[in-house]
Each structure stands twice: as structure tokens, then as C-alpha cells.
Amino acid sequence: MSEGISAQEAAFRDLRRQRRLSTLIGVLVLGACLLAAAWMSEFYPSTLVAGAPRIGEYFSRILPSLEWAKLLSDAETEGSLAFWLYRADAWLLLLFETAQMAAIATVMGASVALLLAFPAAKNLGAPNWVFQLTRRLLEATRTVPEIVFALIFVWAFGVGALAGILAIALHTTGALGKLFADAMENVELRPWDGVRASGGTWFEACRFAVLPAALPDLLSYAMLRFEINLRSASVIGFVGAGGIGEELYKVISFNYYEEISAIILLIILAVMLIDLTSERLRRRVIEAVA
């Protein structure tokens, strides 16, 4: 008996030794890859240390010069909130335009992504050529950055919000299509089997078995993408695709430091509002599905 236990213990120790060796080799390989990536990308610690104080200097410039005694004074008084946000009405209008761009692009992209996610989910039994084609299409659309699509659409449709909407929608289709398909691959398939066994078609099984189970995750991903698209819409405005991005590019170009921080603050508040709304919507959907 003791010999059997000793043999088992020896085998366990040998297996543990092999796992530790494999882990050590994996860590060394990963470390070597990271070092090679840092060298290729010129990510040198000395450069980082030298540039860090300049980041602090830039942030100190964009911070507003607020004074407690003048905080609630009018827009003519330097040091007040009104003086810092003196163009808030125009910025809010541009931010609203940016949010509309992001919303339309998210709806368009999410709608197409939802249709493509069903054949892109491996567990739903779509023909292999359809599965492979859909997956490759989603990869292609999410690989190209929105700003590249924006440049193409600006050339095709001219300067304005339309180019930004189309660029974001196309990229959103690829990004959400992958997330939607992954969410569908994680659902319990017993309802699917039940619908199929009772004579339901593939489309009916997708609609009545998979979609309700995956809906909370799909909504969460879509709202997260809306946040991302709001930021993306702000960035692609740099290339003339409309929204708050054009104004942000202007104030950065002319070094209007305090205006930079004011616009960034408004964008942050908008993203926070979207996040809070997303959380409430997701909870309601989960309660409705449950």
C-alpha cells in the first residue's frame, strides 16, 4: 500500500515539475517576445522617463484657472466656471451632433452585426462555407480603423457627418458581429434542440431559442459600443467627418489649452451618462427575460 502511495506521489511530483518547467519556459518566451516588441517599437524606459514630466506640463496647461471666490461669477470674470465654459452652448450642440452620429452608426452596425452573428456562431450549425465567409467578412470590417474608412468616405461623399456615420457603422459591424457570435456560442442549447425537435426551422430556432438567451449580453455589448463610437466620432472629426471632433482639433491646433479641457470634460460626462443608461437598460432586459 505504501509503495502504491509513493508511486502516486512520485508521479504527482513529476507532473508538477513538468508543469512548472512548462510555465517557466512560457514566461521566458513571453518575456523575450515583449522585449523584442519593445525594441521594435522603440519603447525605451529612458524615453518614457524623459517624456513623463512633459505630460504633466501639458495637463497643467489645459487645467482651468478656477478661483473659489469667483467660481460662480459670470462669463466675463476670469477664474469662473462660466468663463471656462464660455462656449458650452456651441460645444453641447456639437456634442449632441456627435452623439447622434454615434447612435445612428451603432444602430446600423449592430443591426447588420446581429444578422451576421447567427451564421458566424459555430454552434448554430450554419454551413461551413457560410460560417467561414461570415467570419472573414467580420474580421475585414473590424481590422480597418474607423479613421481610414472616414478618409475614404470623406473623399466619396464630401466633408460632413455622413462620412463619419458610415465609417463608424462599418467598423461597428465587424466588432459587434464577433462579440454577438461569441455570446451566442455561450448560450445553453437545450432550448435550441427543443425548437428544432418540435419542427422549428433554423431561423425560428435562432429567433426563439438563441436570441432571448443572448439578449442581455447583446444589449450590453451594443451599449458599450455606443460609448466607443461616441469617442470614435470625436476622433474622426479630425479628418472632417463632423461633430465635436472638428472643434477639438481646432482648439488643439491653436493651443487653446483651457478649451481643450472643457471639451474633454463634456465628452467624459456624455460617456458617463451613456454608461448609466446602459446599466439600467440591461437590468430591465434581464428582468424581462427572467
| Residue 282 pLDDT exceeds 90 | no
Q: What percent of the chain has pLDDT above 70?
A: 96
| Residue 4 pLDDT exceeds 60 | no
Where residue 116 falls among pLDDT bands split at 50, 70, 90? very high
| Residue 289 pLDDT exceeds 70 | no
Of the candidate CATH numbers 3.40.640.10, 1.10.3720.10, 1.10.1060.10, 3.40.50.300, the domain formed by 87-289 belongs to 1.10.3720.10
- How far is 137 from 159, CA to CA, in rounded Å? 27
Averaged over 171-190, what is the pLDDT? 92
Report the number of secondary-structure helices (H) and strands (E) in the chain.
12, 0
Look at 23-32, 71-80, 117-126 and tell me which has the smallest mean pLDDT. 71-80
Greatest mean pLDDT among 111-115, 187-191, 217-221, 271-275 lies in 111-115
| Residue 286 pLDDT exceeds 70 | no
pLDDT digit string, tens, across residues 44-74: 788 878 887 888 788 888 888 887 878 778 7
For residue 37, the tally of other CB atoms under 10 A from its CB is 10
- How far is 54 from 61, CA to CA, in rounded Å? 11
DSSP, res 209: I
| Residue 99 pLDDT exceeds 90 | no
**87: CB partners within 8 A, 6+ apart:** 259, 262
Averaged over 185-208, what is the pLDDT? 86
| Residue 284 pLDDT exceeds 80 | no
Please report which residue ranges of the chain form alpha helices under DSSP H.
Answer: 2-40, 45-62, 81-84, 88-120, 128-143, 146-157, 161-185, 190-197, 202-205, 211-236, 244-253, 257-289
Predicted pLDDT of residue 55: 80
| Residue 1 pLDDT exceeds 60 | no
Predicted pLDDT of residue 177: 94
At 169, the amino acid letter reads A
Whole-number mean pLDDT of the chain? 84
| DSSP, residue by residue, 1-60 | -HHHHHHHHHHHHHHHHHHHHHHHHHHHHHHHHHHHHHHHTT--HHHHHHHHHHHHHHHH
Q: Tell me the CA end-to-end span of the chain in Å, nearest whole number.
A: 54
pLDDT digit string, tens, across residues 20-50: 888 999 999 999 998 898 888 888 788 878 8
Q: How far is CA 151 from the centre of its chain?
A: 20
pLDDT digit string, tens, across residues 223-268: 889 888 888 888 877 776 667 888 888 888 888 888 888 888 888 8
Domain ranges of the chain: 2-62, 87-289
Quick check: 99 and 230 in contact, CB under 8 A?
A: yes
